[in-house]
Amino acid sequence: RNIMILFGPPGSGKGTHGPKIEEILDTPQLSTGDMLRAAVSAKTEVGLKAESVMKAGGLVSDEIVVGIIRDRIKEEDCKLGFILDGFPRTLAQAKALDAMLCEEGACVTKVLALEVPDSVLEERICGRWIHKKSGRSYHVKFAPPKSMALDGDGKPISETMKDDVTGESLMQRADDTAEALVKRLDGYHSETVPILDHYSSKGIVRKIDANQKPSAVSIDVQAALLRQK
């Protein structure tokens, strides 16, 4: 069973490469946010627990999240494996995940870490605009919408930022600012490094230089997926 964890700081290209990895491995990419919402709407035992915590304004515990993953990976589409994105975020979560998988007779078989220097991420993130409904992502420098017009300072005029497909307005996420990015990256590095160290001892971590053209990153990702331990 191919059980993979995908790591990468904001702006490293997980949104671009995740679906391609899904295709190559023929396994679903599981987002904890999506699984949580699905469990709550399906009113599963763990979903009901999560709902009561969220209604009370609390944070859903690692135990609940691991329980939601346990339920989800029993479904038919996870028979050959699955890809986790956005979990684990802490060493404690990684250990809880390992323990749950061990009970199911499985284990994490590969960890892919997309690596990009922080200075490059700032340019990538702060130029990002998204179409909220579809999740389509644009970038003022690397992938601008056809409608984009610039002001006298060379900055995009927000009224001209429209989705190529629907013509609807694009938006920038509130945390796609330089100030917010510094905090997000600090958090990412302090939380992720111990997790990568934890799995490195098992010889399953593959680090990918994601500071190159997407096509080159894709080739490296494919090579890492095909290479066994």
As annotated, the active-site residues are 14, 89, 128, 173, 184
Q: How many CB atoms lie within 10 A of CB 49?
A: 18
Cα–Cα distance list, 28 to 3, 53, 87, 182 (Å): 10, 27, 14, 31
CB 87 within 8 A of CB 93: yes
b vs e for 62-101, b when ≥16 Cβ sit within 10 Å of the residue's Cβ?
bebbbbbbebbbeeeebeebbbbbbbbbeeebbebbbebb
Cα–Cα distance list, 40 to 52, 75, 124, 218 (Å): 10, 17, 34, 35
Q: Within its chain, how far is the Cα of 32 from the centroid?
A: 10
